[in-house]
Amino acid sequence: VGSSPATWLRTTPGELLDIIRHEDRPITKLELAKRTGLSRSAVTQRVSSLLNAGLVIPTRHLAEDTGGRPAERYAVNPNWGVSLIADTGATGMRTAVCDLSGHLLNEHFDWIDITQGPDAILGAISKRFSSHLVSRRLSPGHVRGIGISVPGPVDARTGRVVSPPIMTGWHDYDIPGFFSAQFDCPVTVEKDTNAMVYGAFRSSTAAEQNMVFVKVGTGIGAGLMLSGRLYRGADGAAGDVGHTRLDSAGEVAPACRCNNLGCVEAYAGGWAILRDLQAAGVEVYTIDELVKAVHEGNAEARAMVLESASIIGTAVAHLVNMANPRAVVLGGQLVGLGDLVLATVREQVYRLSLPLATRNLTITTCELPNPGVLGLAALVSDLVLGPDNVDRLLADRRG
Ligand SMILES: [Zn+2]
């Protein structure tokens, strides 16, 4: 069936691995031959090169062991290597080492200040990476890919940060270059919300093909999954709802961290709430302290969070009208306030979005403690085990 020469010439070992990787269970050579139109010998040859490189492992399915010889099945070898991950926010970072199925092997959280600049922060990440490897008895040679997320706009082609509002000193810094000097593997850099939406997407049992992740922390931003794909936009700037302008209704619009006036963030971001509370004489200096103040019943803090949630809800409603997602997932530190934020956002979205867009829409808070880490781990695995990278690796082995 369909075994035209054109098909079998085109199906590379890397493409075969891609098929194996997306199966729910290990697959036989016969199934691979049927799937690709390759001859048995062509499949055997390609599977052998994947086996020799350690990329796939043979497995046997006991369930089938009912008379006759069970066919050898093949699966991706999750221990072929590991990925190193750093999910970096404005004030904290999670670093991790993961296997290539995206499972966490080791994770660590550190408080940081992103405005210390790339040398200090990337240096700290690099130290954590080393200690993760040591604690898992791994060497840099085991690292097959690196994923870094940052709280700012990332040029999707170069992996460089572009005029980030809060990342002083990071503009145009070569983050991939920093790590490729130490590790011989691909490095991927993502905006934090892109990593988060991908993590939520890959971890959800429903795996909604159209999903929006809204991060509500110090800043406000969103990541979009559209038709099952991470949507970065033409240059990587998609989803930046925090810097859309609100109508200030005649009042003087507050200045934003991006140097514009009246952005959503300048009214409703965590930093704006802290600014207003401090001006009102309430002594809260971090988002954690803010969350604590609300939990302890501080009326002013509660009122300002509610007002923010309403503005955030308006921004989310715009996103819902624009992208028509099936799921909106709220994450970030302010979501620690649970229903207070969630209920208000829901109310605004149902009020301001079209009935068709909200009929099947769910709006929930993110249950995962680390969607950014999981998203990066999945993105790195996709890249490392993708056909292009695998075929390049196999060619390098031959050469
Ligand atoms: Zn702004």
* H-run or E-run covering 271: helix 270-279
Residue in the block written with tokens 């492992």: 57
What pLDDT does residue 65 have? Answer: 52
Tell whether the model's pLDDT for residue 176 goes beyond 90: yes
Measure 232 CA to ligand 1 centroid, in angstroms: 19
| Per-residue tokens: 74 | 């093949």
Cα 311 from Cα 226, distance rounded (Å): 24
For residue 1, the model assigns a pLDDT of: 43
Query: What is the pLDDT of the chain when averaged over all its residues?
Result: 91
Using an 8 Å Cβ cutoff, are 128 and 108 in contact? yes
* Distance from the alpha carbon of residue 221 to the mean position of ligand 1, in angstroms: 11
Average pLDDT of the residues in 144-163: 93
CA distances from 386 to 31, 53, 230, 247, 251 (A): 20, 15, 16, 45, 52
Kindly give the distance from the C-alpha atom of residue 261 to the centroid of ligand 1, in angstroms, as a whole number: 7
Residue 305 alpha carbon to ligand 1 centre in Å: 19
- What is the Å distance from ligand 1's center to 254 Cα? 10
Going from the Cα of 272 to the center of ligand 1, the distance in angstroms, rounded, reads 11
How many A from CA of 280 to the centre of ligand 1? 23
Mean pLDDT of 31-43: 93
pLDDT in tens, 317-362: 999 999 999 999 999 988 888 888 999 999 999 999 989 999 999 9
Rounded Cα–Cα distance for residues 198 and 373 (Å): 10
Provide the pLDDT confidence category of residue 148 given band limits of 50, 70 and 90: very high
CA of 218 from ligand 1 middle (Å) equals 12
Ligand 1 centroid – CA 163 distance (Å): 12
Burial class (CB in 10 A: 0-12, 13-18, 19+), 398: exposed
3-class secondary structure, 85: strand
Encoded tokens for 335: 């979501």
Q: How far apart are CA 118 and CA 321, in angstroms?
A: 37
pLDDT of residue 62: 56
Distance 220 CA to ligand 1 centre (A): 10
User: Ligand 1 centre from 266 Cα, in Å?
Assistant: 7
Looking at residue 156, its pLDDT comes to: 85
Nearest partner of 336 among 165, 184, 216, judged by Cα: 216
pLDDT at 70 over 80: no
Say how many Å lie between the CA of residue 382 and the centre of ligand 1: 33
pLDDT of 7 higher than 70: no
CA–CA separation, 40 and 20 (whole Å): 16
pLDDT for 382 equals 95
Paired strand residues for 154: 161
Q: Which amino acid is at 3?
A: S
What is the Å distance from ligand 1's center to 367 Cα? Answer: 28
CA-CA distance, 125 to 120, in Å (whole number)?
Answer: 9
Q: What is the largest CA-CA distance in the chain?
A: 81
Residue 193 CA to residue 198 CA, distance in Å, equals 8
β-bridge partners, 96: 85, 107
Q: CA 59, CA 62: separation in Å to the nearest integer?
A: 9
Phi, psi values for residue 61, rounded to 5°: -95, 110
234-270 pLDDT, tens digit each: 999 999 999 999 876 767 899 998 899 999 999 999 9
Question: What is the distance in A from the centroid of ligand 1 to the CA of 372?
Answer: 23
3-state helix, strand, coil in the chain (%, to 5): 45, 20, 35
**Distance from the alpha carbon of residue 377 to the mean position of ligand 1, in angstroms:** 29
Q: pTM of the entire structure?
A: 0.91
**How far is 164 from 160, CA to CA, in rounded Å?**
10
Of the candidates 183, 253, 257, the residue with the CA atom closest to the CA atom of residue 218: 257
Distance 39 CA to ligand 1 centre (A): 58
Helix, coil or strand: residue 300: helix
Kindly report the number of other CB atoms within 10 A of residue 322's CB atom: 13
Report the distance separating Cα 115 and Cα 151, nearest Å: 11
Please give the pLDDT value at position 8: 47
Q: In the chain, what percentage of residues exceed pLDDT 90?
A: 80
Report every protein residue that has its C-beta within 5 angstroms of ion ligand 1: 243, 256, 258, 260, 263
3-class DSSP state for residue 178? Answer: helix
